[in-house]
Structure 1
């Protein structure tokens, strides 16, 4: 696909054998061609979290101070370590000219889709309820932290930092809720192939569902396991 897009862009850029300095006309031609290349590329993007997003591409301008030598073959490429998501850049390099050059054009790729946004301001540490956010169309690519797309990913969780009304709910904004503190009496379910043993103990560390915690059994033995719920740690033997 990349080769096909590249050849298409070559044709768009190189209908003339001469590509001059970055004057207004050359700038407009390069922006138009880059826009088409990017639009073709993002159409091929796979679904994100199982959702097909509506991609919107906008192309910036090259530095007007650049003076580019004539080139009959310009190749577009994505620089190493970049992706077509949010604010990015598209590389353009001359492959057939008296002077080889390589420049970067700023681009922005929005990924529009349904997600959750804060209804009101929420303080850090708040246990979140269904009233704290509502569904809306947002730009998934606006921030590096992934969007929280499903309600079960945030309802019952804790706000990891303060929220502002209208802010898109992202994974960095929530964390699992603590279900017990150190010193709490809990159950320890020790299990292995073909057996389960249930005993009592005292939590040495606080407990967060799905996270590791330590417990001291009545015998004095210390064990590590995974918090199952507000009363139980599971220890795999």
Structure 2
């Protein structure tokens, strides 16, 4: 009858020793520093995925952390909200286990690719043609975020203001081609729940594709809709 308590006590001591060993191993692991090279490589792999669809030649550089961090078995890289994926910025890396910490590493992504510049000075409201644009090659990360890389897509667009010769062409400084012209007969498409009716009217202003414009109907009523190509305005009820 005395053997059973001894057996139970031995099993309890064995479990206690196993738990102690695991705790000691975890403590030793937590005391080990995180390999800076592994942290750097993880951030670079993340940025390589993020920039995979960019045109041109992409080079990625991430600097290692300046301070020692506890070893981590589950790293998670991320970009702070609102930051670009090219140029100079900070990339975040957080540890999910066994400890929890976050570090921000300086990064630079260079994208060497062609971009559009103006061949000569252009006045406001000038309609772009192929003769107005020339391509240059440079680092897109050092240029405005809206610099134009597809010059053909901008043909027919209008300059919002005057542009200097050799200036990078930016989409924010351009307006889409006129889809609706003031005073012209305009096809109205009236859409609502369960119906679609077409009519005619007269545009009261010029409008580019996607702009809101007012149209005077045959009955004299003025309604507002969205300009589409071909002198068409869509009104949704």
TM-score class, shorter: 0.5 to 0.7
Asked if the contact 1:57/1:108 (under 8 Å) is kept, the reply is yes
TM-score of the two chains, using structure 2 as the length reference: 0.60
2:50 to 26, 33, 45: 45
Asked if the contact 2:209/2:227 (under 8 Å) is kept, the reply is yes
Change (3 A) 1:117 1:143: same
- The Cα of 1:102 is off from its aligned counterpart by 5.9
- 1:73 is aligned to 71
Asked if the contact 1:209/1:229 (under 8 Å) is kept, the reply is yes
TM-score of the two chains, using structure 1 as the length reference: 0.60
- 2:91 is aligned to 90
Specify every segment of 5 or more residues in structure 1 that has no aligned partner in the other structure, as ranges: 1-13, 20-28
Asked if the contact 2:114/2:138 (under 8 Å) is kept, the reply is yes
- The Cα of 1:54 is off from its aligned counterpart by 2.7
Q: Matches of residues 1-237 of structure 1 in structure 2 within 5 Å?
A: 17=32, 30=36, 36-45=41-50, 47-48=52-53, 52-59=55-62, 68=67, 71-73=69-71, 77-78=77-78, 80-81=80-81, 82=83, 84-91=85-92, 103-143=103-143, 145-178=145-178, 182=182, 184-190=183-189, 197-199=198-200, 201-229=201-229, 231-235=231-235
- The Cα of 1:73 is off from its aligned counterpart by 1.9
Deviations 1:31-90 (A, max 9, x none): x66654444333323654xx554321234687xxx7x4x545266743542454322113
Alpha-carbon distance in 2 for matches of 1:209, 1:18: 57
What's the secondary structure of 1:172's corresponding residue? helix
Asked if the contact 1:118/1:169 (under 8 Å) is kept, the reply is yes
What's the secondary structure of 2:127's corresponding residue? coil
Cα RMSD after superposing both structures:
4.3
- The Cα of 1:142 is off from its aligned counterpart by 3.4
Change (3 A) 1:176 1:52: closer
- The Cα of 1:156 is off from its aligned counterpart by 0.9
Give the length in aligned residue pairs. Answer: 203
* Greater per-residue helix proportion: 2
Specify every segment of 5 or more residues in structure 2 that has no aligned partner in the other structure, as ranges: 1-28
Alpha-carbon distance in 2 for matches of 1:211, 1:101: 47
